[in-house]
Chain A
Amino acid sequence: MKIGIFSLSCCEGCSVQFLNLEEKILDLLKHFGIENFRLAKEYNEMPVDIAFVEGTPTNREEILKLLKIRKDCNVLVALGTCAVTGGVSAMVNTMSKKEAMEVYGGFPPEMPVDPKPLDYYVDVDYHLYGCPFSKEELMELITSIILGKKYKDKEYSVCVECSLRENNCLLDQGYLCLGPITRGGCKALCPSNGKPCLGCRGPYEDANIKGHIKVLQDIGFSKEEIIEALSLFSYEKLKEVIGWLKEE
């Protein structure tokens, strides 16, 4: 089977995370040929069976590149937060076009495209959540594909994993934590390190977002602080509720 790792606009941390599989890559090479990986390879070929795509298009050229990847692969995996939700780049969508373009003195070098999740443009077969994605989940996904089994998203919150690790609740300590609405699978890495969840894995299916906003307001956080936190990684996925909160 042939795999490719593709990069649209982003920090390329997910490509680096892929290489951070270290010696496991040698095991992978027993099952797969890495046929396309510009960061590491001189000759890059298409089509591939599985395309891992990190980042999100921020110009027309990259949209076309994404469409071509979709056409030339069987399975497309959105690799990491930028590909899944638009990521931090999508925060620019909170501003007016005029405001953003003023950064370039009103004349940007190219017509900017709003950063969107990949599934805004193409069908995405699997999502690997997180900034960066979790190596364990990547291995789970790859193993499922090799065995022909179904890979399932984790449909529960970071809170579940945080409780299993018996951490002291950061919300209880007065931190603005997004753990209750954010998709699990990271083993609550940040809260376990004393840092509130910033929501880098995006909201999960049944997240009670409005309920959590109420909780945060009761603790004493302002509307602006809550909107800021919700916008950090998932503006594109949460803009309706953010709009609602603004009007509230």
Chain B
Amino acid sequence: MAERRIRIDEITKIEGHANLTVEIEDEELKRVIFGVHEGSRYFEAFMKGKSYIYLHELAGRICGICTVAHELASVKAVENALGIQVPENAEKLRELMLISSHIQSHILHLYFLALPDYMNAESVISLTLTHKNLVKKAFRIKEATNYMTSLIGGRAVQPCTLKVGGFTKRISKECIERYRKKMKEIYPLLVETAELFLSLEYPPYERDNEYLALYNGKSIPLYDGKIKSTHVEFPAEKYMEHIKEYIVDYSTAKRSRIDGKDYMVGALSRLNLNPYLRDEARELAESYRISFPNNRVALINAAQAIENVHYALESLEIADSTKEYEPKKINVGRIDGEGIAAIEAPRGLLIHHYRIKKGRCTYANIITPTAMNTENIERNLQGYLSEIACESDDVIRVEAEKLIRAYDPCISCSVHVVRVK
């Protein structure tokens, strides 16, 4: 009997620390374990007792890659809890900030983490020797989108202008115009990026997954909407009735199911559930014979690249209609309440939920996209690797990593939050 055990102690080119064990017996897949061994940081514990004005500052520090999404979800949950109205132009500016940070995150993932797998390269650093112009293009887009985020957020990593009720600073018309101009400038590069990532040869594996994303019936929402899965639709406030978290003994990250099933969140889920891609983006995908909904898991990469084109165009429209923002004194009417907010982080749905009493947090629950995806990653690894179990260890290792990286997992996010009792 031929038994094989393939182990990757530290999966590289993902955010955070995770490992993989694959056991194969007589060319048949027996077990796949996707484990997380990142240390816990007890955010849940120290958020308790903190003033509501600091919660989004702390939330941003859960993850340095999707810091904008965490800050926004957190500040929105607090605003919901305290019944604070945010002016329309502040909402639009937040959406613009979210879009530029999404594109930045997608570019980082696509070029720096995923692409080397498809170009037989060790890393983006070795790509600088063989494909210098490609790497330069990635840096140009990253720099531009970071600049756009900081126009509104003060800086790209841990933005410093958000506050409960709006922003801390004036955001002028010129500032919004600079954002628009920059987005227009990089738009052709985003199209080229999409062309590249639509043309790669991805693992063929398909599965009829349960998908989950925000939904509003007219666009592909990032900042606001109901939660919709393949089978059910509900307002964000009802998330606890459907989404259940659990723990397994071989991992420090929490996992989650919807109505008893594993599910996928992220770019592919957003496009699968929201058939509202802008014509330019949809036609571009179709010219490479790719359309959505689509069950091919590794197409998450292509979905991200198509999203970049879609959201760039969306942002130009939003910027056109956004008025200058002038900070005002926020009237906090009440200092007790409970609030839930769901927004789309680059990697998928993100939920922040707080209870606030006398201005201080008494309960925090945060469910991150990677915690949502973890079981789905493992299931799809089982599915894909059993199809290729007769291949060599090296092939299995490479293909497994391709599939894991497609999700752009963010382990930092997934282990740093556990519910306050």
Contact = CB atoms under 8 A, between A and B. Distances in A.
8 contacts: A20-B156, A26-B128, A38-B10, A40-B124, A58-B39, A89-B41, A95-B45, A108-B40
Interface string B154-181: 1111101101000111100000000000
Given A88-B58, A103-B42, A189-B154, A42 B123 contact: yes
A193 B51 contact: no
A58 B37 CA distance: 11
B418 A104 contact: yes
B61 A131 contact: yes
A198 B155 contact: no
Nearest to B51: A228
B108 interface: yes
A23 interface: yes
Interface stretch (B12-20, B193-201, B277-285, B377-385): B12-20
A131 B159 CA distance: 10
A167 B156 CA distance: 22
B116 to A, nearest CB: 7
B315 interface: no
Central interface residue in B42, B108, B125, by most chain A CB within 10 Å: B42
A53 to B, nearest CB: 14
B229 interface: no
Contacts of A58: 39-41
Given A13-B64, A99-B45, A20 B146 contact: yes
B61 A11 contact: yes
Interface of A: 8-17, 19-20, 22-23, 25-26, 29, 34, 37-44, 57-59, 61-62, 87-89, 91-92, 94-95, 99-100, 102-105, 108-110, 112-113, 115, 131-132, 189-190, 193-195, 198, 225, 228, 232
Interface residues of B, number: 65
A37 B16 CA distance: 12
Contacts of B29: none
Nearest to A91: B46
Nearest to A80: B64
Interface stretch (B136-144, B217-225, B233-241, B347-355): B136-144
Interface in B64-123: 64-65, 67, 108, 112-113, 116, 122-123
Nearest to B41: A89
A44 B12 contact: yes
B45 A11 contact: no
Nearest to B121: A42
Given A100-B45, A194-B161, A198-B57, A19 B108 contact: yes
B13 A20 contact: no
A88 B44 CA distance: 12
B155 A189 contact: yes
Interface in B8-66: 10, 12-16, 37-46, 50-51, 54, 57-58, 61-65
A-B pairs, 7 with minimum CB distance: A13-B64, A58-B39, A194-B168, A11-B64, A91-B46, A9-B39, A193-B154
B38 A9 contact: yes
Contacts of A59: 39
Contacts of A8: 39
Given A41-B13, A189-B154, A10 B412 contact: yes
A26 B129 CA distance: 10
B4 to A, nearest CB: 21
A195 B420 CA distance: 28
B62 A41 contact: no
A134 to B, nearest CB: 10
A42 B168 contact: no
Given A22-B139, A99-B45, A194-B327, A13 B128 contact: no
A57 B136 contact: no
Nearest to A44: B12
B125 A41 contact: yes
B63 A190 contact: no
Contacts of A17: 64, 157
Contacts of A115: 41
Nearest to B66: A11
Given A16-B65, A41-B123, A195 B161 contact: yes
